[in-house]
Chains A and B, each alone.
Chain A
Amino acid sequence: MLTDNKLIQLDHISKSFGGQLVLDDLDLYIRENEFITLLGPSGCGKTTTLRILGGFETPDQGTVWFDGKDITNLPPNKRALNTVFQKYALFTHMTIAENIAFGMKIKNKPKSYIDDQIKYALKLVNLDGFENRMPDSLSGGQQQRIAIARAIVNEPKVLLLDEPLGALDLKLRQDMQYELIRLKNELGITFLYVTHDQEEALTMSDTIVVMNQGYIQQIGTPEKIYNEPENAFVADFIGDSNIISATMIDDYLVEILGARFKSTDAGFGKNKPVDVVIRPEDVELVAPEEGTIRGTVTHVIFKGVHYEMEVMANDHEWLVQSTSMFPVGTPVGIKVDPFNIQTMHKPESEDEEAIGVEE
Chain B
Amino acid sequence: MKNKKHLLSFPYLFWSAGFILIPLCMIFFYGFTDKQLHFTFENVASVAEPENVKALLISILLALISTAICVLLAYPLALILSRSAIKNSGFMIFVFILPMWMNFLLRTLAWQTLLEKNGVINMILSFLHLPNLNIINTPYAIILGMVYNFLPFMILPIYNALVKIDPNVINAARDLGANGLQTFLYVIFPLSIPGLISGITMVSVPALTTFVISDMLGGGKILLIGNVIEQEFKQANNWHVGSGLSIVLMLFILLAMGLTAKYDKEGGSYF
Q: Identify the A interface with B (CB < 8 A).
A: 54-56, 75-77, 82-83, 85-87, 89-95, 98, 101-103, 105-107, 147, 150-151, 154
Contacts and interface: CB of A to CB of B under 8 A. Distances in A.
A77 B171 contact: no
Contact of B171 (A56, A95, A101, A154): A56
A102 B173 contact: yes
B214 to A, nearest CB: 38
B50 interface: no
25 contacts: A55-B174, A56-B174, A75-B179, A76-B171, A77-B176, A77-B177, A82-B176, A83-B172, A85-B171, A86-B168, A87-B166, A87-B168, A90-B169, A90-B172, A91-B172, A91-B173, A92-B169, A93-B190, A93-B267, A95-B268, A103-B177, A106-B176, A106-B177, A106-B178, A154-B177
A173 B267 CA distance: 35
B19 interface: no
The main secondary structure of chain B at its interface with chain A is helix
Given A85-B168, A87-B166, A93-B191, A77 B174 contact: yes
Interface of B: 166, 168-169, 171-179, 182, 186-187, 190-191, 267-271
A106 B191 contact: no
Nearest to A75: B174
A102 B186 contact: yes
Contacts of A77: 174-179
Contacts of B173: 91, 102
Given A85-B168, A86-B168, A93 B175 contact: no
Contacts of A106: 176-178, 182
A83 B169 CA distance: 11
Nearest to B87: A18
A98 B270 contact: yes
A296 to B, nearest CB: 51
Given A89-B168, A98-B270, A76 B175 contact: yes
A87 B179 CA distance: 23
A56, A102, A150 — most chain B CB neighbours (10 Å): A102
B177, B268, B269, B271 — most chain A CB neighbours (10 Å): B177
A82 B176 CA distance: 7
A147 B168 CA distance: 12
Contact of A98 (B177, B182, B271): B271
Contacts of B179: 75, 77
Given A85-B171, A89-B169, A95-B268, 12 more contacts: A54-B175, A56-B171, A77-B177, A83-B171, A83-B175, A86-B168, A89-B171, A92-B169, A103-B176, A105-B271, A106-B178, A147-B172
Contacts of A151: 175-176
A167 to B, nearest CB: 12
A327 to B, nearest CB: 48
Contacts of A92: 169, 191
